[in-house]
């Protein structure tokens, strides 16, 4: 037997051994299955996931009568959480030889309706605020999970009304005679309070002034737990502290509440080293990263950093190896003009290989970001300039096309930029409710230092609506450039965060032709863009306490040379499915998309039907 075949045999034996379940000896009873019957409101998987008998089944043991009863109570408890107060669960064990099957028969009964009872609050306006915080209404089917999520906000809304010493006792009372779940919200408010003195420790100098400017309340102001939470968020947002404690002093029933704020400064020096392997439509990459950050240098509230990202790429068209380099130096200052305003100076150098060409050159950017009355509304203004030269053109990008795109001369783009962002999402990482809107405008002009005159606008809108446990998410994004079209300012679409029916950057005007015996599509970008997407995000279960789910999506998009050629009724469409695992670094996702139209001829990436994407974070 050869070494290769022996290896295959050993692997097969190991795999076969792993695939088999526990070995049952004749005469030893074992649990063969767990079944439920009579259930209509809840699925089998919802009722059986996490049962103690699952471990018994996995170990190949006989069902323990005690665990059978314990799991019956667990199933009953799951129904009670959804308001089925009269649910009845009976268990029986059926045997066939050594195999035993546990069967739970369920009589669901009628789901209880909700009745809300608030005590201890005389103010009708405050009562109404409490009811608005509770996602249950009188007469609505009861759902314990929604009640559980609302308990903390239900206490906070009374604290925000000035009652720092409020005692809150929520409970559910089952009235089986009327089939009603009474949500009893009992409050003991105590005196109405104001903020007292503030004691701040752990910081001095200019940084102390920045901390004091971020305290969201003043002595004598009505007490509010939201102001305490806002202060804590704002101080962490300075990115200067390893710990922040904002503690109201609630001893006794005094009407004036003093606050102690204790902060601990984090390390001023940070070094980052890393590396990895990457794959994009044009190359395989080996990547490295080195970074250094120092805070409070050269002046207080300044942060200086350098970031170097070298890579070595094997071009997928067989043309050989290419270096790729992104180098960036950045200086950031907090409170540059007023509290919460941030100024930035960035300078860098790029050497980047794309499908159509390699570009290289320096860049510089100045910018200021500030909120407009609220942290949810942000304005960014700036100026930037970059210079780029081009080399290593793909054979399909001939001299005529190079001249048409502007690759035959040095590019120098300088522009004034503005963007306005309004973020109303309930969660930045995994939103379920709210909206996000952004509009970016760039005015390229020779007066800014460039050799291109253009106007570019890119608006985007996203929305999120909960449908039970499922989330409906939608997005539309467009872009247009009027005037001169610089090579590096062209639009591209396709990829994990845009039109998922295409690989990264593949949806764009392209040079299409025969190369190395096959039909190739080399994108070089366009002057107008439209993207739209619709997703249903459905949770399924948890894996090691990490939520796991699936999505179904429909993406549309197109990129054309000019806005006059862009037709919203003639987009490229793709449908697909994906998996999501919500980890501590955000959702890790895998998506598969199938193109529904415009797959042949001179369309971008012709004769390609499927695209696969692996990424971190939601598509939008």
DSSP string, 459-501: EEEEEEEEETTEEEEEEEEEEEEEE---GGG-B-B-STTS-TT
- Please state, as a whole number, how many other Cβ atoms lie within 10 Å of the Cβ of residue 9: 11
Question: In 3-state terms, what secondary structure has residue 436?
Answer: strand
Indicate the pLDDT class of residue 23, thresholds 50, 70 and 90.
low
Of 67-76, 114-123, 595-604, the poorest mean pLDDT is in: 595-604
Average of per-residue pLDDT across 257-266: 96
> Strand pairing of 180-188 and 113-119?
parallel
Distance, C-alpha 191 to centroid of its chain: 41
Apex 133 CA angle, 129 and 137, nearest 5: 95
From the list 466, 465, 381, the residue with the least C-alpha distance to 421 is: 381
- Please state, as a whole number, how many other Cβ atoms lie within 10 Å of the Cβ of residue 548: 14
Residue 493 in contact with residue 502, Cβ under 8 Å? yes
- Both structure tokens of 177: 């005679």
Burial class (CB in 10 A: 0-12, 13-18, 19+), 494: buried
DSSP-derived letter for residue 223 is P
Which H/E stretch holds residue 583? strand 572-583
Place of tokens 């559910």: 172
Q: Would you kindly state where each structural domain of the chain is located, as residue ranges?
A: 26-107, 113-188, 194-265, 418-616
Q: What would be the CATH architecture of the domain defined by 194-265?
A: Roll (3.10)
- Both structure tokens of 287: 């990547």
Measured in degrees and rounded to the nearest 5, phi and psi for residue 617 equal 95, 150
CATH homologous superfamily of 26-107: membrane protein fhac (3.10.20.310)
At 177 the pLDDT is: 87
Q: Which CATH class is domain 113-188?
A: alpha beta
CA dist., res. 276 & res. 503, Å (int): 20
Residue 2 has pLDDT above 60, yes or no: no
DSSP-derived letter for residue 338 is S
Taking only the tens place, the pLDDT of each residue in 145-186 is: 888 888 888 999 999 999 999 999 999 998 988 999 999 999
- Please state, as a whole number, how many other Cβ atoms lie within 10 Å of the Cβ of residue 337: 11
Q: Say what the pTM is.
A: 0.79
At 282 the pLDDT is: 59
Taking only the tens place, the pLDDT of each residue in 390-434 is: 998 999 999 999 999 999 999 999 999 999 999 999 988 889 999
Same fold, 26-107 and 418-616: no
- Both structure tokens of 323: 């270096």
The fold of 418-616 is Porin (2.40.160)
For 563-596, b where at least 16 C-beta lie within 10 A, e where not — what string? beebeeeebbbbbbebebbbeeeebebebebebe
């Amino acid at each position: 037997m050869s070494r290769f075949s022996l290896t295959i045999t050993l692997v097969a034996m190991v795999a076969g051994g792993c695939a088999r379940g526990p070995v049952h000896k004749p005469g030893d009873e074992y649990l063969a299955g767990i079944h439920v019957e009579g259930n209509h409101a809840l699925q089998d998987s919802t009722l059986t996931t996490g049962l103690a008998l699952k471990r018994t089944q996995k170990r190949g043991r006989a069902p323990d009568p005690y665990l059978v009863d314990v799991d019956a109570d667990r199933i009953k408890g799951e129904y009670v959480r959804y308001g089925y107060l009269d649910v009845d669960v009976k268990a029986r064990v059926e045997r066939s030889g050594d195999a035993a099957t546990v069967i739970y028969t369920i009589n669901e009964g009628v789901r209880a309706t909700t009745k809300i009872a608030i005590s201890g609050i005389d103010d009708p306006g405050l009562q109404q605020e409490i009811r608005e915080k509770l996602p249950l209404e009188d007469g609505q089917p009861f759902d314990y999970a929604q009640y559980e999520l609302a308990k903390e906000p239900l206490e906070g809304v009374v604290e925000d009304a000035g009652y720092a010493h409020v005692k809150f006792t929520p409970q559910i009372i089952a009235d089986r005679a009327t089939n009603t779940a009474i949500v009893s919200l009992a409050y003991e408010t105590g005196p109405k309070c104001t903020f007292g003195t503030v004691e701040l420790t752990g910081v001095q100098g200019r940084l102390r002034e920045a901390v004091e400017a971020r305290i969201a309340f003043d002595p004598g102001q009505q007490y509010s737990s939201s102001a305490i939470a806002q202060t804590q968020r704002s101080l962490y947002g300075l990115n200067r502290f390893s710990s922040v404690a904002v503690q109201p002093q609630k001893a006794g029933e005094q009407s004036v509440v003093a606050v102690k704020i204790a902060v601990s400064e984090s390390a001023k020096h940070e070094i980052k080293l890393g590396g990895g392997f990457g794959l994009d439509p044009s190359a395989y990459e080996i990547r490295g990263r080195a970074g250094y950050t120092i805070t409070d240098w050269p002046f207080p509230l300044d942060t200086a950093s350098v970031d170097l990202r070298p890579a070595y790429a094997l071009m997928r068209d067989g043309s050989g190896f290419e270096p790729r380099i992104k180098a960036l130096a950045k200086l950031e200052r907090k409170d540059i003009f007023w509290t919460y305003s941030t100024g930035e100076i960035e300078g860098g150098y790029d050497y980047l290989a794309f499908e159509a060409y390699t570009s290289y050159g320096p860049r510089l950017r100045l910018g200021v970001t500030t909120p407009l009355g609220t942290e949810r509304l942000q304005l960014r203004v700036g100026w930037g300039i970059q210079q780029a030269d081009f080399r290593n053109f793909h054979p399909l990008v001939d001299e005529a096309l190079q001249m048409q795109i502007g690759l035959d001369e040095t590019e120098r783009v300088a522009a004034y930029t503005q963007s306005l962002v309004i973020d109303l999402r309930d969660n930045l990482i995994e939103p379920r409710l709210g909206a996000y809107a952004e509009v970016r405008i760039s005015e390229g002009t020779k007066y800014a230092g460039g050799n291109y005159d253009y106007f570019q606008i890119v608006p985007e809108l996203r929305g999120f609506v909960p449908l039970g446990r499922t989330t409906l998410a939608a997005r539309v994004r467009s872009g247009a450039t009027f005037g001169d079209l610089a090579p590096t300012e062209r639009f591209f679409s396709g990829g994990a965060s845009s039109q998922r029916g295409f690989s990264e950057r593949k949806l764009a005007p392209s040079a299409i032709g025969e190369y190395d015996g096959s039909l190739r599509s080399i994108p070089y970008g366009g002057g107008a863009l439209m993207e739209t997407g619709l997703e249903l995000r459905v949770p399924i279960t948890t894996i090691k306490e990490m939520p796991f789910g699936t999505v179904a999506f429909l993406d549309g998009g197109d990129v054309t040379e000019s806005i006059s050629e862009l037709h919203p009724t003639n987009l490229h469409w793709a449908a697909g499915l994906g998996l999501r695992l919500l980890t501590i670094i955000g959702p890790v996702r895998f998506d598969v998309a199938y193109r529904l139209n415009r797959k042949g001829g001179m369309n971008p990436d012709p004769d390609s039907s499927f695209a696969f994407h692996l990424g971190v974070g939601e598509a939008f």
